[in-house]
Homo-oligomer: A and B are copies of this chain.
Amino acid sequence: MVSKNQIKLITSLQQKKYRKQHQLFLAEGVKVVQELIDANYELQDIFTTQDDFSRISSNKRHAVLPTDLKKISALSTPNTCLALFSIPKAVKIESTGLILALDSVRDPGNLGTIIRLCDWFGITTLVCSEETVDVYNPKVVQATMGSISRVNIVYVDLEKYLLDAKLPIYGTFMDGKSIYKEKLPKEGIIVMGNEANGISNSIENIVSERISIPRFGNLQLTESLNVATATAIILNEFKRIEI
């Protein structure tokens, strides 16, 4: 059973304003929820239609019907469980190694996929501009498939952060140097831009190394890659040299 007040609270967490106010976020699905629990995220409540989480203390665990889950889920097809976690305190940003920075990535699916890529490539610091979609948006949490717990994600004034940074700053532009020919370093900041507009002018001015992904298709027509697939290719190029 889910009370009216719980439904109101939980559905409000689909909005950033209320996540900030309550310092809570939603996660759905056994895999994602289990990974967050294992990573010591502070669990507030868990609503489940099955016995998946029988080892969770019972005052946090609520047995619910699929119809109840539908009322509180952010998904069009609800999973078998939904959990509320406290938003963890922001961590200090690492200033060494390979760092990924996002300049206004807006699509939740893209941010989730990029977090999964960071996890795969061992990138532990993801710096987001304040205009980037909120990492605790339920669609982002879902798309990370649990890897959100293994990447430190911080929101900053990106311009200020990059101006203060001591590492070389890489950005992708149509006229940049081929990533296949550049000698890519083990340490640096890679900036990826917005879905529609790419890297903003103010950030472009701070980029020290302009790179590009070579195209093989019809050069007149093929326009661009999706930001998540471009990130996949660029992280692959930076990391492959380590092997």
Contact = CB atoms under 8 A, between A and B. Distances in A.
A95 interface: no
Interface in A16-39: 35
Chain A interface size range: 35 or more
Interface of A: 35, 109, 113, 116-122, 145-147, 150, 178, 180-181, 213-218, 221-226, 228-233, 236-237, 239-240, 242-243
A222 B180 contact: no
B150 A120 contact: no
A222 B150 contact: yes
Contacts of A214: 240, 243
Contact of A120 (B216, B228, B237): B216
A116 B242 contact: no
A145 B221 CA distance: 11
Contacts of A236: 213, 233, 236-237
Contact of A150 (B147, B221, B242): B221
B180 A243 contact: yes
